[in-house]
């Protein structure tokens, strides 16, 4: 039976270097035992904690971010309100707290996570906790803790309890030496941000746990996600959300990327639907465990022009953030998601015109939209 044991840094120092002057210690060993399973490289493995006729019990970490609340709403409609638990380390707003189960969960607290999974009989785990690209560069040590150490806790618990685990990846998992137009599922990945490095690490660790321990790991590389429900949260593609809020509130928008910076993008409804479809896909349809998904690709200039078709008085200026620009210049311009489309039938609904119309309508700009045929 495979066993993982972890020691604290102090314990390791005392054991590996007896002359270090450390005081005698009692070492607490955390043992994680995985059920013995023979798993081949192309194993068709399903989580065994619930039958196919039962609804899964879902835990979403980092649930107060851009995607968690929306995914919880979608899954609750599908599986029932009580079967989807949203979690975060922050206090939820009232509308989130009263919409369904919410609990405190710190992914760096292994014991807390394990208790949540056991006490709530979790069978699916959606791991959204992460520091995004620009925020991560401003605090590398925190990003390393949250994006890497937290992931290790999630992987160990998911493997121990036979969970189906979803961990999102990103366009940021690629770097300047990756093919950019289009970027395939399998190619060189040498990201230049801690966010990107941590996501490559997550992809590889998840696939390793799948092949080594039979973990039902699933991963989608998200493009830039555009949503009217949440404010920009520190990502390089946040300009594509901010432009709508600023256009409605002030009629002016200052973009921090160059006008011709092309990146893959997706409306949040497509993203959430893709996530659910990936989680529900039969294991034998998955030729890989990490897929690109895409909907559209555009530049700030093209987005601004499309918004101006509805709000012709919108003024757009550019004040380039060199850090974010360097990040964007290392990312894919367009995603090749043909494997997702062929394997489990992925198909997007929103192109750029539909995206712009939906965002402006949602934000409540009807009174300022030009009357056109």
Active site residues: 195
Element (H, E) at 86: strand 84-88
Closest CA to 158 of 243, 218, 104, 99: 218
Task: Quote the CA–CA distance of 29 and 366 in Å, as a whole number.
Answer: 60
Radius of gyration of the chain (CA): 22
Q: Rounded to an integer, what distance in angstroms lies between the CA atom of residue 123 and that of residue 275?
A: 16
Please state whether beta strands 84-88 and 58-61 pair in parallel, antiparallel, or not at all (unpaired): parallel
For the range 119-123, what are the long-range contacts, defined as Cβ-Cβ under 8 Å and sequence gap of 24 or more?
120/57, 120/59, 120/85, 121/49, 121/57, 122/49, 122/57, 122/58, 122/59, 122/85, 122/161, 122/163, 123/47, 123/49, 123/50, 123/56, 123/57, 123/58, 123/163, 123/164
136 close to 195: Cβ distance less than 8 angstroms: yes
Please tell me whether the peptide bond between 182 and the residue prior to it is cis, using omega within 30 degrees of 0: yes
How far apart CA 27 and CA 24 sit, in angstroms, is 10
Bridge partner list, 297: 264
Contact criterion met (CB below 8 Å) for 233 and 132 = yes
């Amino acid at each position: 039976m495979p066993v993982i044991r972890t020691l604290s840094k102090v314990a390791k120092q005392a054991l590996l270097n007896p002359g270090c002057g450390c005081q005698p210690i009692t070492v607490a060993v955390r043992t994680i035992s995985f059920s013995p399973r023979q798993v081949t490289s192309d194993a068709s493995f399903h989580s065994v904690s619930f039958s196919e006729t039962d609804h899964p019990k879902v835990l979403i970490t980092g649930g107060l971010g851009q995607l968690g609340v929306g995914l919880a709403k979608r899954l609750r409609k599908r599986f029932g309100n009580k079967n989807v638990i949203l979690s975060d380390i922050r206090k939820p707003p009232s509308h989130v707290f009263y919409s369904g189960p919410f609990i405190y969960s710190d992914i760096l607290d292994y014991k807390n996570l394990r208790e949540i999974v056991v006490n709530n009989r979790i069978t699916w785990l959606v791991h959204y906790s992460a520091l995004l690209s620009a925020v991560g560069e401003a605090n590398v040590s925190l990003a390393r803790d949250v994006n890497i150490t937290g992931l290790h806790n999630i992987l160990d618990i998911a493997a121990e309890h036979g969970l189906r685990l979803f961990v999102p990846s990103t366009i940021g998992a690629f770097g300047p030496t990756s093919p950019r137009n289009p970027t395939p599922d399998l190619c060189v990945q040498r990201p230049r941000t801690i966010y990107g490095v941590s996501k490559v690490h997550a992809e590889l660790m998840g696939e390793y746990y799948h092949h080594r321990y039979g973990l039902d790991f699933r991963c989608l590389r998200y493009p830039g996600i555009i949503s009217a429900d949440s404010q920009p949260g520190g990502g390089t593609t946040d300009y594509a959300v901010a432009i709508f809020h600023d256009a409605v509130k002030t009629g002016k928008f200052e973009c921090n990327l160059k006008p011709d910076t092309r990146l893959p993008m997706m409306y949040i409804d497509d993203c959430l639907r893709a996530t659910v479809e990936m989680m529900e896909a039969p294991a034998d349809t998955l030729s890989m465990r990490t897929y690109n998904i895409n909907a559209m690709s555009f530049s700030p200039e093209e987005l601004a022009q499309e918004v101006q078709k509805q709000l012709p008085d919108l003024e757009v200026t550019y004040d380039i953030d060199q850090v974010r620009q360097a990040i964007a210049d290392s990312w894919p311009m367009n995603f090749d998601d043909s494997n997702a489309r062929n394997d489990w039938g992925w198909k997007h609904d929103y192109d750029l015109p539909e995206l712009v119309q939906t965002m402006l309508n949602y934000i409540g700009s009807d009174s300022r939209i030009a009357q056109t045929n």
